[in-house]
Structure 1
Amino acid sequence: MGDVAMSVPVLGRLLQQYPEVRLSVVTKSFFAPIFNQLPHTQVIAAKVKQEHKGILGLRRLAKQLKELKPYAVADLHQVLRTQIIDFFLKTYGIKVARIDKGRAEKKKLIQHQKKQIKPLKTTHQRYADVFADLGFPIDLNTDLPVIKPSLSAAAQEYFSESDKKVIGVAPFAAHEAKMYPIHLMRELLLKIAKTNRFSVLLFGGGKKEIEQLDQWEKEIPNTINLAGKQVFSEELAIIAHLDAMLAMDSGNGHLAALYEVPVITLWGATHPFAGFAPFKQTEQLQFTPSLEKYPLLPTSIYGNKILPGYEQVMHDIDQNQLIKTLLQVVKLN
């Protein structure tokens, strides 16, 4: 989901800078609400477990795309499935450009030896480069009006306490190495509650995650678990109206950034220098472990590998500084 969300600021600026362009976005139907803020954009559902399953299914999808008579196709994913679709599209004479994921640079960044790390090209810029290859260079530094989806009457209740700022907390990630330890997150949430200046909305998914968030809702004042209680489009609308989001290196931070919500991100085995930081979020909002103490960081691009001795890298994140930063971004300090 994070990769999908990161495409939206790029696509929005493409449409702003080239108003004659019309977009057809191929993605899972679940992700369609993410693109609602884009003008002149239709979403085509990729049903990869149904009619578009396997090579024959992908050929069927390619034929469907051919019927649109596209000027060109931008492959922002560059995995086996999209490569197969690209092949079929090229046989139809359609121009295709693919993302350069910078695999060699990223491999060097995570090498398990002492190193001097430096920021790599951001994923947003890599997406923009694909369109430049098709003849549409994009300036990502331009401002874009933010269109926030409307809240339902029920969702407005979460924002009803005028004396408190509403923040989202998304404490989970796809891999343990990217996730702030559960006991420390509980400790942090208790400290946030103790300030009595915030209403906290918890985001997540999956049975075990929901059980954990339900427990925190019972234990911690001014804390509400939204996981499993909203359809995705409603959850997205709520995220758009937050005063701030606290997230891991995961999708929820990228969703919040779409609506220019300040996003504080906690990093573990991964690092913002790999290019996956939420769009236009400052370095001060990226909380990373000490590189002096853990000189081999980052040890993974996607957070799926834990290096021995690096299991507790996130324990050193300064919670008091984090809360101070949170107060600053919501203008309470």
Structure 2
Amino acid sequence: MKILIELPTWLGDCVMATPAIENIVNFDNDVKITFIGSFVAIEAMKNHQKVFKTVVLDKKYGVLYKITRELGEFDAFFSFRSSLRTKFLKFLISAKNKYQFDKNKYQYRHQVEKYNDFINDSLKSNFPAGKLVLHADNLKLSINNSSLPILGINPGASYGSAKRWHPEEFAKVASELSGQYDIVIFGGEDEVDIVMDIEKLLLEKSVKNYQNLAGKTTIPELINHISHLDLFITGDSGPMHVAAAFEVPTVAIFGPTKDDETSQWMNEKSLIVKKNLDCQPCMKRTCPLGHHNCMNLIKAVDVLDSVKSL
């Protein structure tokens, strides 16, 4: 059975779609999957055991037409995106059955459940939403051949500045835990400056057992490194969901987003830190009230108390 799957654009959403993708496999184990999607999504999913082909999606409609002509025919097409461009893609794809996620239909539940319900409705099945599934290489990260457990710090969030906790507070937490853990700081290419601020503060506190990986890892490398962490402290982000896939003990800091919809899925070693303000969750990329209190009021001690609880 030949299946074409358009993946969600963002890393976190892509990870949260994996239980639904596994249930497509559960429906017919003899499948050959072609993944199409953003570069990030393809990099995250290219090692799936049922993958036959991967295609990075070009945003230009003319290129999109050419790609669909080259893909050939499929038994089914599933898209986890509800965009207008996907409607165009759905029209162009040659498949016996075509299904597209509708974000307006699937609401008020965890994102994993939204995607899984979409697949169940499409296949007329009743599969439960299982665990997140990612494939990582078995290459453990070490710092100066140290035997200490490894703490991962992830200060960035691609959604917008409103989701980011302050570098000063991250540095306080990392400094406090540096005697118990070696530290790895993660970040994308557009988050290098934030991580450099944390690095500068750590050096001022004479903390040297850290490694700055911001802007230096591929998506498969990021997944591999996170899979070997002993503790992860992060905002609501793609790497947070990667950590959930490997059940890494995690403290997740939430501000303007809906933790009931995008918290870590099926990770019993996860705690959420948030302030439960009347203005939460606003779901805005920047604070509409201008005070950013959902993040400003969270202090290092709040996160450290959660670490102790874990």
TM range (shorter): 0.7 to 0.9
Given the alignment, which residue of 116, 119, 128 partners 2:116?
Answer: 128
Distance change >3 Å, CA 283–CA 228, structure 1 → 2? closer
- Structure 2 match to 1:84: 88
Residue of structure 2 equivalent to 1:40: 50
CA distance in 2, matches of 1:184, 1:217: 11
Q: Give the SS at the match of 1:186.
A: helix
Note the aligned Cα RMSD (angstroms). 2.9
DSSP 3-state at the match of 1:320: helix
Moved more, 215-224 or 2-11: 215-224
Secondary structure class of the residue paired with 2:103? coil
Indicate conservation of the 8 Å contact 2:169/2:299, yes or no.
no
Unpaired stretches in structure 1, ≥5 consecutive residues: 106-119
Partner of 1:74: 78
**Of 286, 289, 292, the match for 1:308:** 289
Equivalent residue of 1:134, what SS? helix
Give deviations 1:171-212, integer Å, cap 9, x for gaps: 11121111112222222222222xx11111100122423533
State the match for 2:60 in structure 1.
Answer: 54
- How many residues are matched? 295
AA aligned to 1:179 is R
Q: In the TM superposition, what are the counterparts of 1:107-146 in structure 2 within 5 Å? A: 120-135=108-123, 137=125, 139-142=127-130
Could you report, residue by residue, the CA deviation over 1:71-100 in whole angstroms, capped at 9, with x for unpaired residues?
A: 1111101112212101222xx454221213
1:236-283 CA distances to partner (integer Å, 9 max, x unpaired)?
A: 21111111221111111112222222332101111212x122221359
TM-score calculated relative to the size of structure 1: 0.77
Aligned twin of 1:240: 227
Q: CA, structure 1 residues 22+138, in 2 after alignment: closer, same or farther (shift >3 Å)? A: farther
Distance 2:237 2:53 in 1: 23
- Structure (1 or 2) with the greater strand fraction: 2
Q: Does residue 189 of structure 1 match 2:146?
A: no
Structure 1 residues 132 and 239: alpha-carbon distance in aligned structure 2, compared to 1, 3 A threshold = same
- Runs of 4+ aligned structure 1 residues displaced above 6 Å come to none
Shift of 1:17: 5.6
In 2, Cα distance between equivalents of 1:121 and 1:148 = 28
Query: Which of 86, 100, 103 is equivalent to 1:101?
Result: 103
- The alignment-based identity, stated in percent, is 19
What is the letter of the counterpart of residue 41 of structure 1?
V
- Give 2:253's aligned residue: 266
* Inter-partner Cα distance in structure 1 for 2:226 and 2:167: 22
What secondary structure sits across from 2:116 in the alignment?
helix
